[in-house]
Structure 1
Amino acid sequence: MSKKNVLILCTGNSCRSIMAEALLNAKLGDCLIAQSSGVKASGAVNPHAKALLESYGYWRDEYHSKVIETVLDTAFDLVVTVCDHAKETCPMFPKAVKTIHVGFDDPSGKAEEEYEKTLLLIEKELLSVVKKELCN
Structure 2
Amino acid sequence: MKKVLVIDHGNAARSIMAEALINHYLARSCDLHADSAGLEPKERIDPETIRALAEDGIETERLRPKGLDELPVLDYDLVVTVCDNAKEACPTLPGAKKEIHIGFEDPEGKPFEAYERELHQMKNLLIPRIREELCEA
TM-score range (shorter-chain normalised) is: over 0.9
Give the Cα–Cα distance (whole angstroms) in 2 for the partners of residues 78 and 44 of structure 1: 25
Q: Helix, strand or coil for the counterpart of 1:29? A: helix
Using the TM superposition, give the Cα deviation of residue 29 of structure 1 relative to its aligned residue in structure 2, in angstroms: 1.1
2:44 alignment counterpart: 44
Task: Name 2:119's counterpart in structure 1.
Answer: 119
- Cα gap change, 1:83/1:72 in structure 2, threshold over 3 Å: closer, same or farther? farther
Number of the residue aligned with 1:18: 16
User: Could you say if the C-alpha distance between residues 104 and 39 of structure 1 is closer, same or farther in structure 2, counting changes exceeding 3 Å?
Assistant: same
- The CA RMSD over aligned residues, in Å, is 1.2
Q: Distance in 2 between matches of 1:70 and 1:131?
A: 26
Residues 100, 113 of structure 1: CA spacing in aligned structure 2 closer, same or farther, 3 A cutoff?
A: same
Per-residue CA deviation, residues 17-40 of structure 1 (Å, 9 max, x unaligned), is: 000110111110112101100011
Q: Structure 1 length normalisation: TM-score? A: 0.93
Letter in 2 for 1:18: I
Q: 2:106 maps to what in 1? A: 106
Q: Which moved more, 1:70-79 or 1:99-108?
A: 70-79
Structure 1: stretches of 5+ with no match in the other structure: none
Query: Which residue does the alignment assign to 1:27?
Result: 25
The size of the alignment, in residue pairs, is 134
Q: Cα gap change, 1:55/1:98 in structure 2, threshold over 3 Å: closer, same or farther?
A: same
Amino acid at match of 1:109: G
Shift of 1:62: 1.2
How far residue 74 of structure 1 moved from its aligned partner, in angstroms, is: 3.2
Give the letter for the 2:26 counterpart.
Answer: L
Residue in 1 that maps onto 2:5? 7
Structure 1 stretches of at least 4 aligned residues deviating more than 4 Å after TM superposition = none
Question: d(CA) in 1 for partners of 2:60 and 2:96?
Answer: 29
Match of 2:68 in 1: 68
| Partners of 1:82 and 1:135 in 2: CA distance | 20
Q: CA deviation at 1:96?
A: 4.2
> Partner letter of residue 74 of structure 2?
T
TM-score by length of 2: 0.93
Tell me which amino acid in the other structure corresponds to 1:24: I
Does the 8 Å CA contact 1:72/1:94 hold for their aligned counterparts? no
Shift, 1:72, TM fit: 6.3
